[in-house]
Structure 1
């Protein structure tokens, strides 16, 4: 009887320890997700601060691009107002803002003076660095969300999640198709390099222009002049024809007919 009680108590203790460990792990993962999201939020606010300065700098050189500036300002206000929304809603707002910024940067390519403005170049560099940090933070956040959501669905940790009301977290995914699409790469004509022409194709006869043609049987003119090559002299120049008598000593050599 005493042994049975000891076994039961041991099982209860083991289950209690497993329950505590699983619960604490859920709490740790949830806090890690919140911390990684705060890092993203910091970078998003930094981008919100850079956008007005960038727009004003561009407006000084491209004032007639008014519709582009208005769209960027509207979407920035929309993104700032979505701070308390879910990550999915924030991602949708940020995707629209990124698309408007990209459109503005494309429109300023027609202004060489703006491209040489140091203030614009500095703001553009800061915005690019901020976008890179946002992308890195998004990957870290989504990885933590994936681990957390997997434990909520897997057995037996799903029993702990349902008992203590742990809910799945939302991903912060890019919705801009221009970012997600695969770039198109063209290699041009096989056997050629960009800016160079492919080598000429061989005609049906097996010879291409600019090559020396071998002489046909009975052709006494040697190789023909083609492609800029000099015509070779006949092979029998200065030699007597076949069957002619050899010159005797003291006679001039045969020079041909």
Structure 2
């Protein structure tokens, strides 16, 4: 009877160990897929923004704004953001991930400067088409922020699992291809409002004023 109890006890322990191991084996790929899905949502929101920016550029190009350089920056930043190749390895490759984030942060920066410029043009701001695009872009920026936060949370959970026992052993054996994922970080100067120099525009206005007065006198 004593031997039977020992055998049953060992069987119970073995069953519990197998169950725990099965959970651990599945945990890494499950969390990895969750983080990849979260990153895909980040990409979707960035793509939505790039599409909206294309429409915004067409709208602003038809307006008589003097700061064409700012609009050119947006066009160039959009081209750079859309030219960065992103694949499944991006989130675990520091260099690729940094390139991706820098391109998207450049788009955010250029777009922010353009919106500051637009404040000087009430006629453009009053156009329904522009107002609609502005509202859609603001909503997309919020969704980008949420998507990045959700991805960072999923990546943190996954990275913590890779470093925890006994998953760290499994990561080095069964899931030998598993690598820590990168995080989105706040861009340098993101806490500061974009600045735009209007001194050139003011100079143009001052020099054109005498000419206009002279023409009126004639």
> Same fold, TM exceeding 0.5?
yes
Corresponding residue for 1:58?
Answer: 60
Corresponding residue for 2:184?
Answer: 172
Bigger radius of gyration: 1
Judging by fraction of residues, say which structure has more helix.
2
> Deviations 1:139-186 (Å, cap 9, x if unpaired)?
11111111111111122221122222221111123324224x69xxxx
Where does structure 2 lack aligned partners over 5 or more consecutive residues?
92-96, 194-218
Query: How far 1:98 moved relative to its partner?
Result: 0.2
CA distance, structure 2, for counterparts of residue 15 and residue 27 of structure 1: 20
Corresponding residue for 1:214?
Answer: none
Corresponding residue for 1:78?
Answer: 80
- Equivalent residue of 1:177, what SS? coil
Of 136, 159, 170, the match for 1:160: 170
Corresponding residue for 2:104?
Answer: 94
Larger RCO (CA under 8 A, 6+ residues apart): 2
CA distance, structure 2, for counterparts of residue 33 and residue 75 of structure 1: 27
Query: How far 1:9 moved relative to its partner?
Result: 5.1
> Deviations 1:72-102 (Å, cap 9, x if unpaired)?
1111111112241624332221111100000
CA distance, structure 1, for counterparts of residue 16 and residue 51 of structure 2: 53
Query: How far 1:14 moved relative to its partner?
Result: 3.2
Query: How far 1:52 moved relative to its partner?
Result: 1.3
Where does structure 1 lack aligned partners over 5 or more consecutive residues?
183-257
- 2:143 paired with 1:133: yes
Give the alignment of 1:1-257 within 5 angstroms. Answer: 10-84=12-86, 86-87=90-91, 88-89=97-98, 90-163=100-173, 164-165=175-176, 166-179=178-191
Query: How far 1:117 moved relative to its partner?
Result: 1.2
CA distance, structure 1, for counterparts of residue 55 and residue 190 of structure 2: 25
Change (3 A) 1:176 1:99: farther
8 Å contact kept, 1:40–1:138: yes
